[in-house]
Amino acid sequence: MWRVNTKNLQVLSIILLSIPSILIFAVYGCVAEIKNKDTSKVENTDLLAKGTVEPQTTAFSGKFPLGMNLSGDVSWSRSKMWVNVAKSARDWGHLDKPYQKDLELKLSDRGYPLSDAGLSFEGYEYEPGVWQFSYKGSGDISFRGGGKLLSATRGSDGTVTGTFERFNKKRLDGSLIPVRLIMRNIDSNNPPYDLKIVASGYDLNSKDVYTQEFLEFIKPFKILRYMDLMETNNSIVKTWSDRVKPDAPGRGVAYEDLIELSNVANKDAWITLPHLADDDYIRQTAKLFAQKYDDNLNLYLENSNELWNRNFSQTRYLHDSIIAKLMEEEGLTKAEATAKKGREQLPQKEVVDRLCHIAAIFRQEFGPRADLIKPILAGQAANSWHIKKGLEHLAMTGRQESCNLHAIGIAPYINTQYGPTFNPASMDEVFAKMREFYEEKVKPKIVEHAALAKQYNLKLYAYEGGQHLNGDNAFNIKTAAQNDPRMGELLKDYFCFWQNSGGEDFVFFSSITGNSKHGHWGIKTSISEGETIKHNALIDTVEKGACNK
């Protein structure tokens, strides 16, 4: 394979790098008494409020159908996505280590702790100063590390509102010190819920979920792929009760919020259903979208993510579960089951069978709007065998029409021949080797998959794509190449070739992420970065067309 998927390793690296600062600043803190008072007003009434976000009603009008993979919902994100900063917090943790998830902590049905706990968040890109908060239920709140409680008042309805100072204290790397929120005296019969935290300049009572800055950033794009926001890779979600709760802090994003984003921004959603999810989970998800999703938007469905890529647990599970089933039902040895799995292409058949099953459930729930459901059979760009065997299986079982498959999807990344071990001496060498890889490896595979899609009367989509420089070697050179004009020229040529070869919607990877040895994925490293070569290339392609010079 030409892409080693190591995006999920970024989380571990960042957590490990954060530990020294966590230990240094955990000593800061301040607790204020919550006073009973018949008011829900907060002090500091001079806080400026952002305007209400109105839904964007104009359909996509760009000249090239470019979508975007949105980066994951992590506490150190620089996407400035949420009005309520609590939505980007880490999972509930220990009182003495709020940044570390407490695996033994019991949570309510709403996703809130039933006993004393801590919560950690950064809120990068938001202005330090006086921030507001509110929550309902029991518990006394305090802050330490990057914050200090200023006021807290419990109203007659039991809602606590207050303010805290978000310090402008920074680590050695220039990033703000994380805030540690502490909740004590929690009554398990009346646990806290509906926690809201808003930065200076935002309205605590606003109904808006997403910031105007973030909505403006995604405005040019046609499709939003929610794979990372759904935490699809290595998911352990099985039942509907396992899902991310809409009002709870912590990792991942609830379907309700994804639906809200697509509706408000008027963007088609591309969702990647968890590989372990049972039928009830799939049906409940379908019902929710059928009830709340905009009638004018298409809904793209994918069975998990990269089920050809053994770097992910979902792919290993796919193969292991097939072997286990053959051993149990047919009495085969492990070696015999493994051989049969490969000989009969059972994983490729299982991938498309489950996709068709998922799509059928969604179509049932959407009823007269079933045509909005667009199943995508994704495979490996470097090896068309995966998709080909799935399509042959559909044809042989006579289910091409009933499955209503919409498109096949690939991720035709532009890398170099030696991937992470590539050690260029200059940017000239970077672009020479990327061009070589693009001409010899990427272009032929795009043409091959376009022909395959045409053979089965399907569309060809890119579920991901873009440049893929990674590795420790010559890291600074690879980083500098991201904002070299030649990167923009390469991307524009890439989009033009894609379109001329028969490719249609191209969902770029990804929106806003930092640079690391695992990749330089983002078209920006922060929402406030300003214009970048990659961002400009994408916007220019959308506005002027893929082949406009």
CATH number of the domain enclosing 404? 3.20.20.80
In this predicted model, what pLDDT tens digit does every residue of 90-104 receive, in sequence order? Answer: 999 999 999 999 999
pLDDT beyond 90 at 23: no
Given this model, what pLDDT does residue 60 score? Answer: 84
Q: Are 523 and 439 in the same domain?
A: yes
Asked if residues 347 and 323 have their Cβ atoms less than 8 Å apart, the reply is no
Q: Each residue of 111-137: pLDDT tens digit?
A: 999 999 999 999 999 999 999 999 999
- pLDDT-above-70 percentage for the chain: 89
Provide the domain limits for residue 22. Answer: 12-53+78-206
Q: What is the pLDDT of residue 56?
A: 53
User: Percent of the chain at pLDDT above 90?
Assistant: 88
Do residue 114 and residue 178 come from a single domain? yes
Among the three residues 182, 206, 230, which one is the final residue of a domain in this structure?
A: 206
- 403's CB contacts (< 8 A; 6+ apart) are 352, 355, 356, 359, 360, 375, 394
Residue 310 backbone dihedrals phi, psi, to 5 degrees: -75, 0
Q: 195 and 251 in one domain?
A: no
476-501: pLDDT as tens digits = 999 999 999 999 999 999 999 999 99
CB neighbours (10 Å) of residue 333?
10
pLDDT tier at 437, thresholds 50, 70, 90: very high
Is the pLDDT confidence value at 42 over 60?
A: no
Q: Shortest CA distance to 162 belongs to which of 190, 120, 121, 204?
A: 204
514 & 369 share domain: yes
Task: Kindly give the interhelix angle for 385-396 and 443-455, rounded to the nearest 10 degrees.
Answer: 0
Has residue 301 been placed in a domain? yes
Please tell me the total number of residues recorded for the chain in this structure.
Answer: 549
Q: What is the full DSSP assignment across 325-388?
A: HHHHHH---HHHHHHHHHHTTHHHHHHHHHHHHHHHHHHHHHGGGGGGEEEEEE-BTTBTHHHH
Structure tokens at 265: 């921004």
Tell me, yes or no, whether 49 lies in a domain.
Answer: yes
Tell whether 2 is covered by a domain: no
pLDDT band at 54 (very low <50, low <70, confident <90, very high): low
Domains contained in the chain, number: 2
Residue 55 confidence class, pLDDT cut points 50, 70, 90: low
Same domain, 260 and 168: no
Shared-domain flag, residues 201 and 230 = no
Domain ends where: 167, 190, 206? 206
In the prediction, which pLDDT does 41 show? 35
Place of tokens 């709140």: 141
Q: How far apart are CA 113 and CA 89, in angstroms?
A: 14
Confidence of residue 34 (pLDDT cuts 50, 70, 90): very low
Whether the pLDDT of residue 48 is over 70: the answer is no
Whether the predicted pLDDT of 192 surpasses 90: yes
Is the predicted pLDDT of residue 426 greater than 80, yes or no?
Answer: yes
Final residue of a structural domain among 156, 188, 206:
206
In a domain, 59, yes or no: no
pLDDT of residue 400: 86
Query: Distance between CA atoms of 41 and 511, rounded to whole angstroms?
Result: 37
In a domain, 293, yes or no: yes
Question: What 8-state DSSP symbol labels residue 447?
Answer: H
The pLDDT tens digits of the residues spanning 221-271 come to: 999 999 999 999 999 999 999 999 999 999 899 999 999 999 999 999 999
Q: Are residues 190 and 227 in the same domain?
A: no
Same domain for 291 and 171: no
Phi, psi of 278 (to 5 degrees): -80, 175
Residue with tokens 């402008």: 168
Shared domain check, 343 and 327: yes
Domain-embedded: residue 153: yes
Nearest CA among 102, 93, 192, 88 for reference residue 140:
192
- Looking at the structure, do residues 225 and 151 belong to the same domain, yes or no? no
315 and 195 belong to one structural domain: no
- Please check whether residues 175 and 225 belong to one and the same domain: no
At a CB cut-off of 8 Å and minimum separation 6, what does 215 contact? Answer: 53, 56, 264, 265
- Please check whether residue 362 lies inside any domain of the structure: yes
- The answer to whether position 4 is within a domain reads no
| pLDDT band at residue 44 under the 50/70/90 scheme | very low
139-184 pLDDT per residue, tens: 999 999 999 999 999 999 999 999 999 999 999 988 999 999 999 9
- The overall average pLDDT reported for the chain is 91
